[in-house]
Chain A
Amino acid sequence: DIVMTQAPLSVSVTPGESASISCRSSKSLLHSNGITYVYWYLQKPGKSPQLLIYRMSNLASGVPDRFSGSGSETDFTLKISRVEAEDVGIYYCGQLLENPWTFGGGTKLELK
């Protein structure tokens, strides 16, 4: 199975500042079709995961453009610009390239 490793475990951010979360996969997530199958989710307190970024760099519908995704075949970054109070929660990266899908352990974002 593909192992997804996230860092850091938690991050404390001043509102208005930026935050970055890293994710590394144990295998290339680049498919032969040219698409990189890494996804980013935010789970707000008491809620289910919501899709932020799909296929490494595509913003999901309704997600503010303060969120952006980038990376290579095995190393990925989620960047949040101008963090707001509504961004608090646990962020997960996941690979949807092959079954079983696997997810990182999560990064908890809190406000200073």
Chain B
Amino acid sequence: EVQLVETGGGLVQPGKSLKLTCATSGFTFSTAWMHWVRQSPEKRLEWIARIKDKSNNYATDYVESVKGRFTISRDDSKSSVYLQMNSLKEEDTATYYCTAAGAYWGQGTLVTVSS
């Protein structure tokens, strides 16, 4: 059974940092291109980052609004993908999902940025 489990969300003040983890199982993680997608309180879906596999040099890509603030990474030995979020803004408030190529999704973790 495929599983993706996100952790690390919570309430954080503007300007602070947070690191999300997505632990996976049930599929060949090492060859999967992994993504983070967030959903705003208004239910709008927004893709934010992608990391390719080793054969593609772990290339990363980001949506413009998070470039320079967020970093996606992965650890194939742990079948996990991460999202380091720095300089958080109130508009980053959302439920964050990891997804394997858009096919499998985790249950999400809520990030609330507020003073």
The main secondary structure of chain B at its interface with chain A is strand
| Contact partners of A96 in chain B: CB under 8 A | 102
Q: Known: A49-B97, A94-B102. Is A99-B45 also a contact (CB below 8 A)?
A: no
How far, in Å, is B76 (CB) from chain A's closest CB?
21
How far, in Å, is A36 (CB) from chain B's closest CB?
14
Complex: A50 Cα to B46 Cα, angstroms: 15
A103 at interface by CB-CB < 8 Å: yes
Which parts of B59-115 form the interface with A (CB within 8 Å)? 61, 63-64, 97, 102-108
Chain B positions within 8 Å of A, measured between CB atoms, are: 35, 37, 43-48, 50, 61, 63-64, 97, 102-108
Chain A positions within 8 Å of B, measured between CB atoms, are: 39, 43, 47-51, 54, 60, 90, 92, 94, 96, 99-103, 105-106
